[in-house]
Structure 1
Amino acid sequence: MTAPARTHTTTAGIIRAEEPVLAHNYHPLPVVLAHGEGTWVEDVEGRRYLDMLAGYSALNFGHRHPALIEAAHRQLDRLTLTSRAFHHDRLAAFAASLAELTGLDTVLPMNTGAEAVESAVKVARKWAYDVKGVPEDRATIVVAADNFHGRTTTIVGFSTDPVARTGFGPFAPGFRVVPYNDLAAMEAAVDETTAAVLIEPIQGEAGVIIPDEGYLTGVRELTRRAGALFLADEIQSGLGRTGRTLAVEHERVLPDVLLLGKALGGGIVPVSAVVARREVLGVLHPGEHGSTFGGNPLAAAVGSAVVDLLATGEFQRRAAELGVVLRDGLTELVGRGVTGFRARGLWAGVDVDPALGTGREIGERLLAEGVLVKDTHGSTIRLAPPLTITADELRWALAALERVLT
């Protein structure tokens, strides 16, 4: 039996205490955070850091946004969980406001992003059998290479990342992988068995990969012609991150199904949702799908407060305006340690000259400068600060990046 962990107060002591009792499924930077406010966090020894990751976009509104904390506190004093065996007084308002925000009709509330994706896969298959008339057990879903939709066995089964996939088979059939940003390849993969096309409008984990203008419009037209559903995974790209409420809005595209998560919980509770046309989610009947915590009162209260913040348009405008500052700053670093970058709104994938270090090493150097980022493949780092960041804070972070590169 594992002995109880002793209480530790230093960074090194806390990290050592984790080693024997935590699964090693993450490799965090060597910092132990204890407090957060807005765009800043503080470690257990009192050092402050500018958060340029924002929980992979789960903290779009910063740490402990007052409106979200107030909504959570208010609901904690009333009711936190009923399960879906009973109705509660917060769910209808949350679903209605989220449907209105996205321009769709119906909401299936879940908890994590992976749950939302799994739910959408089930719904797409059920729709294919009940509505499109695909023979039972023959439905296919077309996905893109270099995708990241979650960590369940179904999802990693259609990943092309060997680290995510290797050692976890056998995998579920029914998925066809095509190159991202390649409409011709997608069209060749779509046939009468195709239930849906599932893509990220911008691929986050792959390094903030932005498709060519017209790609999303092409996917929408292709799925409409083929009588298939368009499933857009906006779990990272949605809810203000790119300067619009949804990344698909940059091409004025409305998919049949939206997958939302991360920022929907305000960085307080896990909240995700499948939002779709009524006739799509209408294929589900009682008992066919569910979640004990999905749509719980606390989640609905916080989710409603998140939608209220987005309904003003303030955060979308901030992301668009400050995105110019981010792009301009990164442009100045190209050829000076940065070999290239991709940015939309307050979201960027930055490719660093491999001669200067891996993405992990750059992250460690930025940590010493008081800036938190996360690496992805090779020598690429991701920047996704809270949408509450100021222009001065953004320039300060870019100056730190310049120092560690030059």
Structure 2
Amino acid sequence: MAAQIVVVGGSLGGLRAAEQLRVNGWSGALTVVGAEAHLPYNRPPLSKNVLVSPDISALTAAELVDYPGVALRRRAHVEDVSFVLDTQVASAALSDRSLRTVDGRELTYDGLVIATGLRPRRLPIAGFDRHRHALRTLDDAIALRGQLIPGSAVVVVGGGFIGCEVAASARRLGCRVTVIEPFAAPMLRPLGVGLARTLQTFHEEQGVTFRLGRSVSALVGRAPDPAMLGSVVLDDGTELEADVLVEAVGSNPNVEWLAGNGLDLSDGVLCDNMMRAEGRENVVAVGDVARFPNPRFDSTPRRVEHWCIPADTAHRAATTLIHGLSAAENGHGDPTPFAPLPSFWSDQFDVRIQGFGRTEHADRIEVLEGGFGPGWVSEGVAVGYFRQSTMTGVVIAGGTPAQRLRHKALLEQGVGESAASTR
């Protein structure tokens, strides 16, 4: 039987893996198994354009998959790839190189790509499912969009990027919006105090209310229909009116189907720098389910939940997997250290926030350009994140595309300087 590669996961990571396998010379059978009924699509617009754009408000999920911005361009060389959609893999037997789907089908493979991504975490409180939303899929966005009615009370739990993007979209639609965040400012961990509080003030100027340092303790029904969500109770006893509850409280890797195979699944799939699942030649992982070391920063394996990571890891994983299956003499593929530069962006109201590198573990944060005073939206503010005197990341809020590209280039070249050192 001819060799076959199976990609488990039909989102961006799965598509990019299939593309890179073909680009790098894999001409054998290639199957992508996706849990959703849709072909791969772009997720970032879900919390923004899909919620607020009036010209697409009536489109179905099947129509939105092909809408500009949401649609992912599928290159010609994946036309012969088999996409098995609306199908979940229930379990894997890596020693036998076989997979079993939830409906009992068995798939065999010679090479396996793990691309199952993440699913949203939910609050550990039961009830009111019709009024509660998480945002990960196209169907999630459509369900939420139908309840963002002008004047409705929307409570967003979680003040990270997704939570703040949803808050901005709901406010633009005329909803009354409150964000509940356990930390002292929204987006505090990735951005630091200065920029986080500046963005909080910006949101407040647009009408968003924040309840900081708080968590949800209970949900309460609405009289006279107790099945309808009426309010959210915080841990300090405060009760907030709520017609809609959006839960943006993080995510969990989809790895349960890999249990029992001796893999470290404590936080995604532990991989080496070649993207092999713990050194296994025939199994690789891509995207935000993969935990791998990045020598650009240090040797600690980490998952990265940024949009660029599926493409970067797919390129590396494809070359590794093909090399392993070809039984080449050195058996290791590309020996160059895999050191991608993570990048992300977030559009909130009319401001773009774009970051490069790693910001969460900085021991010093400095403003490199601009400032947090009036005019920062148009002039832009660039913030550098340093660890042991080395700049590991930069975030630019507002400003121009040229500013963002310039600071990215400085970070890539390793010439970013502390603002203090230039005075």
TM-score range, shorter chain: under 0.3
Which structure has the greater CA radius of gyration? 2
- Structure with more helix by fraction: 1
The structure with higher relative contact order (CA 8 Å, sep 6+) is 1
TM-score, normalization by structure 2: 0.26
